[in-house]
Structure 1
Amino acid sequence: MLRDRLLDLGLCISNTCAMSSPKRKRDDDNQIQFTDDDYVPYVPVRERRAEKYRKLATVLRKPVEREDSEPDSDQDAPRAGPQSNVALIDQAAELKKKEKPKSEVEKELELEKQILQAQTQKKALFSAQELAKDVHYTEPLKTSWRPPRHIREMSSAQLDEIRQKWHILVEGNDIPPPIKSFKEMRLPDAIVRHLKEKGITKPTPIQVQGLPTVLSGRDMIGIAFTGSGKTLVFTLPLVMLALEAEVKLPFVPGEGPVGMILCPSRELARQTYDVAMGMCQALERHGNFPSLRVLLCMGGISMAEQADALRKGPHILVATPGRLQDMLEKGKINLAGCRYLCMDEADRMIDLGFEDDVRNIMSYFKGQRQTLLFSATMPKKIQNFAKSALVQPVVVNVGRAGAANLDVIQEVEYVKQEAKIVYLLECLQKTPPPVLIFAENKNDVDDIHEYLLLKGVDCVAIHGGKDQAEREYAIKAFKESKADVLVATDVASKGLDFAQIQHVINYDMPKEIEDYVHRIGRTGRSGKTGVATTFINRNSSEQILLDLKYLLKEAKQRVPPVLEALEDPNEKFRKPGGDIVEGLDVDCTFCGGLGHRITNCPKLEAQRRQQMSSHRSMHAGAGAGEY
């Protein structure tokens, strides 16, 4: 029974299929017969897919036929471009053929821009928290200081005339006006009297524009030759800020500082501390103002000597990065209320060796701060980086960044290596004491010191290998004229002020032209003239000698024949015309040297070698720890 029903059901299905297919015929026994028309050839899947894509491409290439009833908004509908059937690689190759071929000079300039951009992407002046939260400050800090009315009402042309007269170059928005006297800067009489006692009766060019800028609360990049009075520009406004804070609400234990100054060396920190202390004592002595506490935080000294200032809360902090980090980590110093930060010799502070230290210190700030960067040598690498990190900065430039002091007579002499120490005695006869001698390494300093003592010369020596007591004794004896000669490494080359020094001797040429500029800047300070004698020989690098050659030419100094004979591989950049852009800066944008470019900068190469060696040592240590 079930079988009959299934046969009937199959017959019904067959009849239905047969009725729906007109090409199929039935015979007398109701069987379906297939004809030749029923045959369909097999097409592989790959060919069917290719045919489908061809039809789709044909449809896309046809112009779209629009009806009149179609709205006008469809005019912006995306359509295939005129070269939609040409591969992108072929289109790029075709465009490259149409471009004008670049000269070797243009290619090298593009390479320099890429190198400089890679070096200026660091953000050392921001803390890790600010970088993580993407914090951006858009407005500079406000202060209560205002210039006098008659200066505020001066026209832009009058202000530019003053800047031109003092050879001051400025960059930025809403630049504060230059002020030509301390009295018009609205400083307390006690400060003006203190400056007169120090022999400072009128401001220098960097002070004419720099002091109003800092007193206004603006971030600033200060560039001026050595001995131009930069220290006063960032120390005096900080003393005024601390005085205002103390008068409004006296400090209690645990508070402070209101501002701090970072220095790259202990000697420079000590000198800055003495300048700030002198002003604070003058305010208390001559002006009956409250006492201000200045804390010196640096290695080599016992903090117990300053326990009173630390316990009561310092108003001003002068520090070196290493000791400051230690004090911050121990919780002995609080930067929650600090809103003033100055970096003296900023090109060194932001450099590779201090970047991690500076970022770590920044993490202890709790809000926006006024940031100041000062140096005599400020390459474009540091300037571009600082402009991106500061808030609407004002750049005050007195002379080219990295240029030598024009008040120094530079003499370069070729002396054989074995004859240098003997020739020193003859060089000492050029001028009366005091004389400063620079050597590249500690062993040379000790050798020179011992040789001069044997020859009966009163001299002292400092270098990084001596303890702090010895270093401070040497500096004090030299400043007080108890010693005629000071022999030192580059620890004494940056920022130290020796007012009476007349002669600087470079026992050997430094490895970087920036160090040379700082060395010779220890003389010829505050408008006085001085002499700088430099020994060169075959041991000196040719690149540094090229830098020296063009530095002498820039300062209109005599160039010895041994330097004139040097061939310059970058001469093509110095000749205008042809493919070279006229007015091109012929200096290294990384270190400021005039005899080479960033593509062959010895300082950049040294930093790369240092990075590679640190990476190798790190990986070697990690590999050793795995076993």
Structure 2
Amino acid sequence: MSEDERPKRRRIRSPSPAKQDDDDDENYVPYIPIAKRREEKLAKLQMWGVRSGKDRPKKPEEEAAEREDAVKEEELLREKSRKERTLLLEAQQVHMKKAVEDSKKTADQKAEEADAEILEAIKSRRKLASDLELAQGIRYSDPLESSWRPPQFVRDRSDEKNQAIREKYHILVDGDDVPPPIESFRDMKIPEPIVQFLRANKINSPTPIQLQGIPAAFSGRDIIGIAFTGSGKTLTFCIPLIMLALEEEAKMPFVQGEGPVGIILCPSRELASQTFDNIVTWCSALAQSGKYPQLNCVLCIGGISMNEQSRALNKGLHIVVATPGRLIDMLEKKRFTFNNCKYLCMDEADRMIDLGFEDDVRNIMSFFKRQRQTLLFSATMPKKIQDFARESLIKPILVNVGRAGAANLDVLQVVEYVKQEAKMVYLLECLQKTPPPVIIFSENKNEVDDIQEYLLLKGIEAVAIHGSKTQEERQYAIKSFKSGAKDVMVASGVASKGLDFNDIQHVIIFSMPKEIEDYVHQIGRTGRSGKTGIATTFVNMNTPEQTLLDLKYLLMEAGQKVPPFLTSIDDPRQAQGLSVQGCPVCGGLGHGISNCPKLEETQRRTMAAHRTTDTGGY
């Protein structure tokens, strides 16, 4: 293609700058922000709505809706105002209100409220009941039925007469439909062989705890029994169990695999062995008469071979006396069951629940398959344990002979200030006060061994018992001491709970325990069954002042001589205008719950257990 034939390009000229500026001025539209445009549009719509409906009257529905909107708007404003108030302001107002209320209360009222808060904080997790009952919500409203009835003349006795008998023996009772007290074993309908056996052992009439406690137990009632040491509590809960076992055996003789009818739990092996020996003796007295069948009893405690009990286990089983650990082992191995067990007694119940046995007791409860009669006995049962027991038992009867935690009035208490380095020498002088046998208590296991060694060097026949001894050593010590082969027994707290030794005239407390409960149990090894005894206690600067104050009030309550160094100790509560009341946790009169040594020790053990768990046991 030639150059002439090619299409020629046309040049388009751009408008001149001056002309372009003129066009932009004519077509220019100013920029309006989108928010402002929306506001203008909304204003136009509102104007249109007003114009379109300004002459139209409102309907009732619209007026109601407007009123409802106004109410809602007012509520929102109030809610907004409430939320805008600071938490600090509210806290200040609550504090001011509480301060005004507190200013109107007395010191005693404030102390009671503080104690109530602490009690609520340490309240047990749940009551004593089997897992089946807790899971299915089973609640028993009525006590177990019993076939026992008191004699007609006792039933005909008026309530005023019954109350006069209780006042005569200083018995306090609490509960609904309390059975009448009975002042004779025969009138209680106890079998004649047992009555004759008791008479042969110079037990002619029931003690105060027995004359009210045994009829209540015979009636099938749950019992909280409180009485000073040596008052006959063991007979009170053992005789009803023996009678119940006799009744069940008479209905249908027991064969292998059946039973037991009842269980008695004890906190220590020594106490369990002693209770077992008593029950076997009473059952043998019944069987030897030829009128009653032989009852089979089993002792379940650690440190002994259960092969020794195999003879009884191979027959029908009526009664079991046990410590918690070995009993759980036997139940888990199914050596026997609680399918037909309907009697449970805990001796030294406050120690059972407090000193690390609570979980074991709950575990034991889970093996019960039916309703049971529950009895709790102790010389020291603080308010905390009493309240807990009331929640766990069914219409319980509280039988109280004297104040819970009070000392035995048949014991002469002598408190002497002895320097630590002079204790051993002065101990020999104290042993000259009375003839043997004598018990010496110390809280320290090493000290127990040191005292025994010192006495042996001085030519005194002495044995020692504490928790680190083997079961054979502990049994030998108790057997030789009871038989009179040994004159002195040196013991830790393990021998202070419930053990009964014949004719102990003197107890020496080498080191004063921190908890006043332990002191009450220790001095209670003498002055038993109506006899008198002496308790000599060594104290010095190492004894906490709070413990000395508890001791001072205990001596005053029992009408004992208070030495000058105890009299000089002032109670800080009196300086604050507070009244002197017993601690609800341990029963001590010299302190409140806020500074209770027993509660502090329990918390210390709990914290130690948590630390052991957190560190994997190291």
**1:56 match:** 71
C-alpha distance in structure 1 between counterparts of 2:523 and 2:45, whole Å: 110
State which of 420, 425, 433 in structure 1 corresponds to 2:423: 420
Instruction: Specify whether residues 38 and 366 from structure 1 end up closer, same or farther in structure 2 by C-alpha distance, changes over 3 A only.
Output: closer
Question: Size of the alignment, in residue pairs?
Answer: 553
Aligned to 2:509: 506
Pick from 608, 619, 622: which aligns with 2:614?
A: 619
Aligned pairs for 1:213-612 (under 5 A) are 213-572=216-575, 586-612=581-607
Corresponding letter in the other structure for 1:387: R
CA separation of 1:460 and 1:121: change in aligned 2, threshold 3 A: closer
452-461 vs 104-113, which deviates more? 104-113
In the aligned structure 1, how far is the partner of 2:332 from the partner of 2:307?
18
Query: CA-to-partner distance for each residue in 1:441-486, whole Å, 9 max, x for gaps?
Result: 2111111111111111111111111111111111111111111111
**Structure 1: 5+ residue stretches without partners:** 1-33, 42-50, 61-79
1:397 aligns to what SS in structure 2?
A: strand
CA drift at 1:606:
1.2
Change over 3 Å in CA distance of 1:118–1:134 after alignment to 2: farther
Are 1:193 and 2:188 matched, yes or no?
A: no
- After superposition, give the CA deviation of every residue in 1:70-111 in whole Å (9 maximum; x if it has no partner): xxxxxxxxxx9xxx9999959978966874624554333211
Contact 1:124–1:358 (8 Å) recurs in 2: no
Gaps of 5+ in 2: 1-43, 52-65
Aligned-partner Cα distance in 2 for 1:394–1:282: 30
Q: Compute the displacement of 1:564 (Å).
A: 1.3
Alignment match of 1:114 (pick from 95, 113, 117):
117
Within the candidate set 146, 153, 158, 1:143 is matched to 146
Q: Distance in 1 between matches of 2:516 and 2:83?
A: 58
Q: Tell me how far 1:38 sits from its aligned partner.
A: 4.5
Contact kept in structure 2, 1:124 and 1:350, CA below 8 Å: no
The answer to which of 364-373 and 450-459 deviates more is 450-459
Q: Distance in 1 between matches of 2:442 and 2:585?
A: 24
Q: Distance in 2 between matches of 1:201 and 1:36?
A: 107
- Indicate if the aligned counterparts of 1:170 and 1:395 stay in contact, CA closer than 8 A: yes
- For 1:504 and 1:35, locate their aligned partners in 2 and report how far apart those are by CA, in whole Å: 104
> Secondary structure of the equivalent of 1:400?
coil
When normalised by structure 2's length, the TM-score is 0.85
User: Which moves more between the two structures, 381-390 or 123-132?
Assistant: 123-132
Distance 1:459 1:35 in 2: 110
Deviation of residue 242 (structure 1)? 0.5
In structure 2, C-alpha distance between the alignment counterparts of 1:499 and 1:599, rounded to whole Å = 40
Assess if the C-alpha contact under 8 Å between 1:347 and 1:375 holds in 2: yes
Q: CA deviation at 1:499?
A: 2.4
SS of 2:250's partner is helix
1:452/1:367 Cα in 2 relative to 1: closer, same or farther (>3 Å)? Answer: same
Post-superposition Cα deviations, 1:280-328, rounded to whole Å, max 9, x if no partner, equal 1011102431110010000111111111101113200000011111111
Q: How does 1:76-155 map to 2 (within 5 A)?
A: 99=101, 101=103, 102-155=105-158
What are the equivalent positions in structure 2 for 1:157-168 lying under 5 Å apart? Answer: 157-168=160-171
Given that residues 124 and 356 in structure 1 are in contact (C-alpha distance below 8 angstroms), is that contact kept between their aligned partners in structure 2? no
- Residues 183 and 605 of structure 1: CA distance in aligned 2, closer, same or farther (over 3 Å): same
Amino acid at match of 2:449: D
Residue 568 of structure 1: how far off its partner (Å) = 1.4
Q: What SS class does the counterpart of residue 374 from structure 1 fall into?
A: strand
Change (3 A) 1:37 1:559: closer
Q: 1:196 to 1:287 in 2, by over 3 A?
A: farther
CA contact (8 A) 1:523 1:529 kept: yes
CA distance in 2, matches of 1:59, 1:349: 62
Deviations 1:532-553 (A, max 9, x none): 0000111111111110011011
- CA shift for structure 1 position 596: 0.3
Question: Does structure 1 retain, via aligned residues, the 8 Å contact 2:580–2:590?
Answer: no
In the alignment, the residues of structure 2 paired with residue 570 and residue 92 of structure 1 have an alpha-carbon distance, to the nearest angstrom, of 28
* Aligned 8 A contact 1:120 1:382 in 2: no
* 1:300 and 1:468 in contact (8 A); partners too: yes
Whether the 8 Å CA contact 1:263–1:343 is kept in 2: the answer is yes
Alpha-carbon RMSD across the aligned residues, in angstroms, is 2.7
